[in-house]
Structure 1
Amino acid sequence: MTETMDTTRAVVVERDFPYPPEKLWRALTEPHLIAEWLMRNDFSPEAGRRFTLSADWGEVDCEVETVEPNRSLSYRWDTKDLRSIVTWTLAPTATGTSLRMEQRGFTPEQKAYFQGATVGWPRFIAQLGEVVSRLD
């Protein structure tokens, strides 16, 4: 058996939050909340649903891949020549939720995209935490 090496790279950010998974799920799936921490959007948590994220610099074409309420969400994240997948995983802990975000699919030639994601995702997730802290 021959193994094929995956030559793509991934950005992973993991953070623990003092909130239940349901609160984080709301911020990950409700369009008006996503707009507060990430970008303007027409998101709906339905597998196969296409949506767009937009910012002043341009747009990201997306399609929901998987939805497991309060547990896991993944979607395609395609912009210019980048084809990637963003996966959110939520796991309850004794004190709240462990959140893991992975964006995979960066080729070795896509250093600028990889660097942008490496810097950008921790900022987005910090903003996500601020949004969740204000939810009832």
Structure 2
Amino acid sequence: MTETRSIVIERDIAHPPEKIWRALTTPHLIEEWLMKNAFAPIAGHRFQLRADWGTVDCEVLAIEPGRALAYSWNAGDDATGLRSTVTWTLTPTPTGTRLRMEQSGFRKGQPHYYGGAMAGWPRMIDTIEAIAARPD
């Protein structure tokens, strides 16, 4: 079995789960914090994330509206590319939401993927928080 690493980020956000959920599942908002996409909040839905540098192939693996979302995140070729899963969990708190993001599946020998994700996810969550702060 291949040993893998994960990135986990937890943050308390002063907005209700429904505002965070909207940012995580609405295509035009996903484009603001991540990439262009054809996301649909339906288990089994396949979609791509698109940027100038290329694409990421994804599939919605699990969805519990307002609470949890997981999708595959497959970048690069099968032999050396990243085969991972991104899982979002939203837990209501007295002051808003505890947002937990985990990306699992980084293999040894993939420091560029791991380092990029370590640098990128906190910035993306900052943008999700800013989107949630907007009036509807």
TM-score where L is the length of structure 1: 0.94
Counterpart for residue 48 of structure 1: 44
Q: 2:57 aligns with which of 49, 61, 64?
A: 61
Which residue number in structure 1 is paired with residue 16 of structure 2? 20
1:1-136 equivalences under 5 Å are 7-80=3-76, 81-136=81-136
For residues 55 and 43 of structure 1, the distance between their equivalents in structure 2, rounded to whole angstroms, comes to 14
Deviation at 1:131, TM superposition (A): 1.2
The CA RMSD over aligned residues, in Å, is 1.0
Q: Does structure 2 retain, via aligned residues, the 8 Å contact 1:27–1:131?
A: yes
Equivalent-residue separation in structure 2 for 1:32 and 1:109 (angstroms):
34
Gapped runs of 5+ residues in structure 2?
none
Instruction: Give the TM-score normalised by structure 2.
Output: 0.94
Q: Percent of pairs identical after alignment?
A: 58
Is contact 1:23–1:135 with CA below 8 Å preserved after alignment?
no
What's the offset of the Cα at 1:40? 0.6
Alignment deviations for residues 59-107 of structure 1 (CA, whole Å, 9 cap, x no partner)? 1000000000110000000000110000000000000000000000000
Listed one character per residue, the Cα deviations across residues 15-45 of structure 1 (whole Å, up to 9, x for unaligned) are 1111111110000001011111111100000
> What is the deviation of 1:135?
3.7
Classify the secondary structure of the residue corresponding to 1:43: coil
Q: Give how far 1:56 is off.
A: 1.4
Q: Distance in 2 between matches of 1:30 and 1:16?
A: 21
Runs of 4 or more, structure 1, over 3 Å off, are none
**Which amino acid in structure 2 is aligned with residue 30 of structure 1?**
T
Partner Cα separation in structure 2 for residue 69 and residue 128 of structure 1: 17
